[in-house]
Structure 1
Amino acid sequence: MKSTTRGTLAAVIAGAAAAVGTAATPAAAVGTVPVPVPLEGVSGALGTEVPKAGLEIPVLTPGVPDGPRYVTGRLVPDRTLPQTPLNGALPGAVLDAPLPQVLGDRFDHVGIDAPASDLRTLGPGLNLDAPLTAPDPDNFGLPALKQPEISLLAPVVQTVADANLGAGAGK
């Protein structure tokens, strides 16, 4: 293969990789996959306007759990069952529906735009402690008894949802 052919092939592959990378960036940045709802064929078949719709499906990505922490004075580490983070997005939707006017052949439109918004969660976790203390040198190195401890770490959900509802003249 000639060097010019190899150079051209490398340029084409680099351009295709850049195009695929830029096309995937918006979906990966928000954590959603856009899903268009094709209704244009229905509009042509019926000879009238039909609603337009588009959806955004979230892609959840698990994070790295915050592992157990060793605390002095406890036999079992803190956060025995660590909370697992999940990052993603709330589903988004864009809907635009025609409203026929009473007098005339035109349409008004009503629409809702609910973009996908970031979602951060932490699953529940668990803390345990054994019913024994650490070895006590004043008690010949034997542990003492104590009340067992158990606590549940509550799940966390954090997001800011946003939506716009609008109505207006036909398009």
Structure 2
Amino acid sequence: MKSTTRGTFAAVITCVAAAVATPAVAADAVPVVVPLQGAEQALDMEMPKVSGTVPLVKPGSPDGPQYVEGRLLPDRALPQVPVSAGLPELDVRAPLPRVLGDTFDHLSTTTPDSTMRTQTPGASLDAPLTAPRPELLGLPAPKLPEAGLLAPALQGAPGASLDVAPGL
């Protein structure tokens, strides 16, 4: 096979892969349904209905290092990376065999999707030398090294509801 044919074939495969992967990347979450119909028929009883979504993680762009006068290394040598995603959405409806009377048939639990924003930990370091000093003929002076840890952050507002109602 000629190299031009191989190159054309590789380009076509790359384009097809990009076209197939683009819709999956554009989605915020992937829907999931737990199939329990087989167990329902095999056990001859009403099974819970479970569905939900699994969110996709979206990393953001980190804040780059910040140069500070008088330091040899930049501040935030290991920058924090912002990451946003949602909590999984869950909907569970289970049959309730009239324990609470004739009007209540099922118990449902729902957790709506909610956005979570996080930042990864970062680090700030400084060398054990100062910047070049004119009184030392342009040589750096020794000093104690500095190291700091930037704490991770988590922000969100999750919620859930529990209901007892008629019908499944």
The residue aligned with 2:147 is: 150
Structure 1 CA distance for aligned equivalents of residues 100 and 123 of structure 2 = 65
- Segments of 5+ residues of structure 2 without an aligned counterpart are 1-22
The residue aligned with 1:168 is: 165
Structure 2 counterpart of 1:50, from 34, 40, 47: 47
- Number of aligned residue pairs: give it: 148
TM-score by length of 1: 0.75
Change (3 A) 1:104 1:48: farther
Change (3 A) 1:140 1:126: same
The correspondence of residues 98-113 of structure 1 with structure 2, limited to 5 A, is 98-101=95-98, 108-113=105-110
Deviation beyond 3 Å, 4+ runs, structure 1: 40-48, 102-107
Change (3 A) 1:49 1:106: farther
The residue aligned with 2:13 is: none
The residue aligned with 2:111 is: 114
The correspondence of residues 2-151 of structure 1 with structure 2, limited to 5 A, is 28=27, 31-101=28-98, 108-151=105-148
Q: Contact (CA 8 Å) 1:100, 1:106: kept in 2 or not?
A: no
SS of the aligned residue for 1:64 comes to coil
Structure 2 CA distance for aligned equivalents of residues 143 and 106 of structure 1 = 82
Structure 1 CA distance for aligned equivalents of residues 44 and 144 of structure 2 = 76
Q: Contact (CA 8 Å) 1:32, 1:116: kept in 2 or not?
A: no
Change (3 A) 1:80 1:34: same
Identity across matched positions, percent: 53
Following superposition, the deviation at residue 70 of structure 1 comes to: 0.7
Structure 1 CA distance for aligned equivalents of residues 100 and 143 of structure 2 = 82
Which stretch has the larger CA shift, 111-120 or 138-147?
Answer: 138-147
| Alpha-carbon displacement from aligned partner over 1:104-128 (angstroms, at most 9, x marks no partner) | 9986111011022111111111111
Following superposition, the deviation at residue 47 of structure 1 comes to: 4.5
| Alpha-carbon displacement from aligned partner over 1:8-35 (angstroms, at most 9, x marks no partner) | xxxxxxxxxxxxx7xx79x83xx32111
AA in 2 matched with 1:132: L
AA in 2 matched with 1:89: G
Q: Contact (CA 8 Å) 1:110, 1:168: kept in 2 or not?
A: yes
TM-score by length of 2: 0.76
- Segments of 5+ residues of structure 1 without an aligned counterpart are 1-20
SS of the aligned residue for 2:96 comes to strand
